[in-house]
Amino acid sequence: MTANQYGFDTLAIHAGQDPDPRTGAVVPPIYQTSTYAQDAVGAPRLGYEYSRSSNPTRDALQECLAAIEGGRRGLAFASGLAAEDTLLRTVCRPGDHVVIPNDAYGGTYRLFAKVAERWGLDWTAVPLDDIDAVRAAFRPGHTRLIWAETPTNPLLNIADIPLLAGLAHEYDALLAVDNTFASPYLQQPLALGADVVIHSTTKYIGGHSDVVGGALITADTGFGDELAFHQNAMGGVNGPFDAWLTLRGIKTLGVRMDRHCDNAERIAGYLSEHRAVSQVLYPGLDTHPGHEVAAKQMSRFGGMVSFRAAGGAEKAIEICNRAKLFVLAESLGGVESLIEHPGQMTHLSAAGSALEVPADLVRLSVGIETVDDLLADLEQALG
């Protein structure tokens, strides 16, 4: 199934998920097995021999991921960072260089600064919405990858995907886009020129805060084969039950994202008028510096809202601690609303670096609850 044949929600429900041919089960079975009987030496049945290499439940998820991102090859992993690590070690070698956002996710920063750098990979952090800064950071012959997030985590900056793709390809490099915040429902980077898409499927794709996972999707079959080789060789795959939970979450991705966006738009507007808030970071606001680019490459603006507390770091922490309906927790993208202080939670690993986030920043993952209840909770939390 491809996007040329069917709409997004049809793909989300059906791609890779034909009824089981033996029993007629509408939902793909959980193949909770580590190994498979072979018909003869060198003749595995349907190609299955060991579940690190392939598993029917994971295959169903991978086919669905490729379909909803408009790609040809989807690969599922045990976490978003397992996907990131596999991508880096597929594309790069010691001595190579990567350009990353100067406000990247804290776990991505940690992977580059504390793991990949020791392996011999160099990197430069720049604002990806400044194409001149990106060009200046390039090292011809050594820069293999532009690593983009759009919107970024947690400052919700916007990168121009076609512009970055053109620059990367000019230097014979690749563009990777972390599409976790937008989800495939709101943005499809491969259609805009990206070479590979990254997801923490833990977030909007899974959508229910009950499973951890990651994904890589590409439209290039040969590149997909390289990634698949490393997926198997490095072994960071998800188990069949995790794949099944993620596949279940995908079925409602479209309808969930519509509500996430509805609620986030209301909340961003409310916060923009509140005296306890000095700045609201949401690409759906026409005051956001990336609003016009986001409007061109996203169908809507997502469910993530960040804001800066007028009273500084102490006030930001107080707001997080006072929230009741917004659960104080890391992660994002689930049906329930979450609140966090990035500086001391998800982005603590970036403290003291060029990627350190403002101490007065609060990040909201706006869920799908009744929006008036969410607004009331923010009113009492803001004081």
Residue holding tokens 């690993």? 349
pLDDT at 4: 72
Residue 3 and residue 369: Cα distance in Å, rounded? 30
Residue holding tokens 């490729």? 66
The verdict on whether 144 is a catalytic residue reads no
Q: What are phi and psi of 149, to 5 degrees?
A: -120, 135
Cβ atoms of 193 and 162 closer than 8 Å: yes
Residue 123 has pLDDT above 80, yes or no: yes
The verdict on whether 203 is a catalytic residue reads yes
pLDDT at 2: 67
pLDDT at 346: 85
SS3 320: helix
pLDDT at 5: 86
Domain boundaries, the chain: 8-248, 253-382
**Catalytic residue among 58, 110, 203, 315, which?**
203
Average pLDDT, stretch 234-259? 98
Residue 338 has pLDDT above 70, yes or no: yes
The verdict on whether 225 is a catalytic residue reads no
Average pLDDT, stretch 197-208? 98
Average pLDDT, stretch 98-108? 95
**Catalytic residue among 6, 9, 52, 266, which?**
52
Average pLDDT, stretch 225-244? 98
User: Mean pLDDT lowest for which of 11-20, 96-105, 304-313, 351-360?
Assistant: 351-360
Quick: pLDDT tens for 36-63. Answer: 999 999 899 999 999 999 999 999 999 9
Beta bridge partners of 217: 74, 197
Residue holding tokens 């709101």? 186
Residue 353 has pLDDT above 90, yes or no: no
pLDDT at 308: 98
At the topology level, CATH places domain 253-382 in: Aspartate Aminotransferase, domain 1 (3.90.1150)
**Catalytic residue among 36, 48, 105, 109, which?**
105
pLDDT at 349: 85
H-helix or E-strand spanning residue 145: strand 143-149
Question: Was domain 8-248 assigned CATH 3.10.180.10?
Answer: no
Q: How high does pLDDT run on average in the chain?
A: 96
Residue 351 has pLDDT above 90, yes or no: no
Secondary structure percentages of the chain, helix, strand, coil, to 5: 40, 15, 45
Quick: pLDDT tens for 3-39. Answer: 678 999 999 999 999 999 989 999 999 999 999 999 9
DSSP code of residue 341? -
Would you say the pTM of this structure is higher than 0.85? yes
**Catalytic residue among 96, 178, 242, 360, which?**
178
The verdict on whether 259 is a catalytic residue reads no
Quick: pLDDT tens for 268-301. Answer: 999 999 999 999 999 999 999 999 999 999 999 9
Cα distances (Å, whole numbers) of residue 236 to 196, 248, 325, 341: 18, 21, 35, 29
